[in-house]
Amino acid sequence: MTTHKKLIAGNWKMNGSLAANEALVTALRQGLAANAPACDIALCAPAPYFAQLQSLLVGSPMALGAQDISAQAQGAFTGEQSAAMLKDFGVRYAIVGHSERRQYHGETDDAVAAKTAAALANGITPIVCVGETLAQREAGQTEEVVKRQLAAVIHVNGHCISEIVVAYEPVWAIGTGKTATPEQAQAVHAVLRAQLHHAASEHAAGIKILYGGSMNAANAAELLAQADIDGGLIGGASLKAPDFLQIISAAAR
């Protein structure tokens, strides 16, 4: 069982506005001021709002995160944001290989490994997402799929694999209202921990493995109580201050 601080990362996806962001962060800051968090917190927001959030988060216990990062340093890559650009805005975390990026943008395991390398090279902590579809789970391929996805990242970044965060997000439980049972989630987290142990034996216990499949205020405590679940990558619930604060509170236990 790991003993380090848990990480609760909100993934806003393509949601937000200047007014909504300010209201949400203000409510979160008020809640955290009343009850200081005992876990790490990140808000992974759409890139147009980085400047606003960099200002809103000053002096708070919340770090700014990105939802993607380019594997390229600079150049003719229209629509991309480099690690150096993210660092200009104080971005500390970057989600890499989210299932929506894999599904809708054709990101391969190799692309995810390259993006992970770009983040690490620039001092940004990558939150590397792995997970299986419903068809893959029903075919008994869960372990094979997540190990393949993580292996690609380890192969390219093995020398500094202890610096990554892993997020297990069963694709069938993202935005569907379905959640892996705590036992199902823990079983996969244990597989990932063993794989990390093989790659970085002395550091494996310190690598955070988050659960990212419809974690919410109602189920967070039970999921976070599992031995190898070190936090959550939170979707819809991260846009509701009371829910997100409740999950943060659950991570402190």
Domain of 242, CATH number, reads 3.20.20.70
Q: What is the pLDDT of residue 1?
A: 45
Q: Decide if 227 contacts 246 (C-beta within 8 A).
A: no
Instruction: Give the SS3 label for residue 97.
Output: coil
Give me the catalytic one of 80, 98, 189, 198: 98
Q: Is 98 a catalytic residue?
A: yes
Is residue 191 in some structural domain? Answer: yes
The torsion angles phi and psi of 131, rounded to 5 degrees, stand at 170, 160
Is residue 211 in some structural domain? Answer: yes
Rounded to the nearest integer, the mean pLDDT of the chain is 94
Is residue 225 in some structural domain? Answer: yes
Q: Decide if 242 contacts 217 (C-beta within 8 A).
A: yes
Q: What is the pLDDT of residue 205?
A: 80
Instruction: Give the SS3 label for residue 252.
Output: coil
In the block, which residue shows the tokens 């007014």?
A: 19
Cα 216 to Cα 159: distance, rounded to the nearest angstrom: 34
Cα 13 to Cα 27: distance, rounded to the nearest angstrom: 19
Cα 50 to Cα 98: distance, rounded to the nearest angstrom: 19
170: nearest Cα among 205, 222, 208, 210: 210
Give me the catalytic one of 22, 169, 189, 222: 169
How much helix, strand and coil, in percent to the nearest 5, is found in the chain?
Answer: 50, 15, 35
Is residue 232 in some structural domain? Answer: yes
Q: Decide if 53 contacts 43 (C-beta within 8 A).
A: yes
Q: Six-digit token pair at 46?
A: 């759409």
Q: Decide if 232 contacts 9 (C-beta within 8 A).
A: yes
User: pLDDT digits over 117-136, tens only?
Assistant: 999 999 999 999 999 998 99
- Structural domain total, the chain: 1
Is residue 20 in some structural domain? Answer: yes
Q: Which domain holds residue 46?
A: 7-251
Ramachandran assignment for 59, one of left (phi > 0), alpha (psi -120 to 50 degrees), beta (any other): left
pLDDT tens per residue across all 253 residues of the chain: 445 799 999 999 999 999 999 999 999 999 999 888 899 999 999 999 999 999 999 999 999 999 999 999 999 999 999 999 999 999 999 999 999 999 999 999 999 999 999 999 999 999 999 999 989 999 999 999 999 999 999 999 988 999 999 999 999 887 777 778 999 999 999 999 999 998 876 777 889 999 998 899 999 999 999 999 999 999 999 999 999 999 999 998 7
The amino acid at 245:
L
Q: Residue 80: in which H helix or E strand, if any?
A: none
Is residue 241 in some structural domain? Answer: yes
pTM: 0.96
Instruction: Give the SS3 label for residue 209.
Output: strand
| Cα separations in angstroms, 51 against 57, 86, 184 | 10, 10, 39
Is residue 2 in some structural domain? Answer: no
Eight-state DSSP code of residue 162? G
Q: What is the pLDDT of residue 2?
A: 47
Q: What is the pLDDT of residue 3?
A: 57
220: nearest Cα among 237, 198, 240, 203: 237
Q: Is 163 a catalytic residue?
A: no
Q: What is the pLDDT of residue 198?
A: 87
